[in-house]
């Protein structure tokens, strides 16, 4: 048996299995991100137990347009920068896996506006290749993440 690097899509789906066990784990990860962003108000909407739709809206610091695509990448985080940061973690999430993992098994839309940015921007990613599209959006300061059709992109048992 030869050794090979996993394709990105497969690696993301494996990581998703560790982060996205069920809709409640998705909500937990997203609420932790909101709290880490300094949100004082967090709204949670769930349809069909979270399998059809999860929507988290907060008034946190937001994500700049130039960082939206990066936010949906594996191992991308604003919470640690170097090894010594691991010894003094003061956030709920830090691994940089949640958004990439969720977007690999669902249709994810991330809309955000930091106070310092004149307009909001929206990033969308959907399963398979997880190509991210960015477009302007109407949104107050803060972030909204909408997760649709959770697990639509996972292998079905036969």
As beta bridge partners, residue 144 has 57, 111
Record the tokens describing residue 28, joined without a space.
């937990």
Q: How confident is the model at residue 62 (pLDDT cuts 50, 70, 90)?
A: very high
Question: Which of 33, 148, 44 shows the shortest CA–CA distance to 96?
Answer: 33
State the pLDDT at residue 4.
65
pTM for the predicted model, two decimal places: 0.77
Q: Map out the domains of the chain with their CATH numbers.
A: 8-148 (3.30.565.10)
Write down the pLDDT at residue 125.
86
In terms of Cα–Cα distance, which of 43, 5, 20 is closest to 127? 20
Q: For residue range 67-123, list pLDDT tens digits in order.
A: 898 888 765 565 555 555 555 556 555 455 678 888 888 899 999 999 999 999 999
Query: Which residue would you say has higher pLDDT here, 153 or 24?
Result: 24
- Eight-class DSSP state of 7: P
Looking at residue 104, its pLDDT comes to: 81
For residue 33, which of 130, 102, 134 has the smallest C-alpha distance? Answer: 102
Per-residue model confidence (pLDDT) at position 142: 97
Q: Among 9-18, 35-44, 125-134, 138-147, where is mean pLDDT lowest? A: 9-18
Q: Please give the sequence-ordered ranges of beta strands (E in DSSP) within the chain, or none if there are none.
A: 42-47, 53-58, 107-113, 120-126, 133-137, 142-148
For residues 56-68, average pLDDT: 94
pLDDT of residue 154 exceeding 70, the answer is no
Token digits of residue 49: 């137990």
């Amino acid at each position: 048996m030869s050794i090979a690097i996993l394709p990105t899509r497969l690696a993301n789906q494996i990581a998703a299995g560790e982060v996205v066990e069920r809709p409640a784990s998705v909500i937990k990860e997203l609420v932790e991100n909101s709290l880490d962003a300094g949100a004082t108000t967090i709204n949670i909407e769930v349809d069909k137990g979270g399998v059809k739709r999860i929507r988290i809206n907060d008034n946190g610091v937001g994500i700049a347009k130039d960082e939206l695509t990066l936010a949906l990448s594996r191992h991308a985080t604003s919470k640690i920068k170097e090894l010594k940061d691991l010894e003094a973690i003061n956030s709920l999430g830090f691994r940089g896996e949640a958004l990439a993992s969720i977007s690999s098994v669902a249709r994810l839309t991330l809309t955000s506006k930091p106070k310092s940015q004149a307009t909001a921007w929206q990033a969308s990613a959907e399963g398979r290749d997880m190509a991210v599209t960015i477009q302007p959006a109407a949104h107050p300061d803060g972030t909204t993440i909408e997760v649709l059709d959770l697990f639509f992109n996972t292998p079905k048992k036969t």
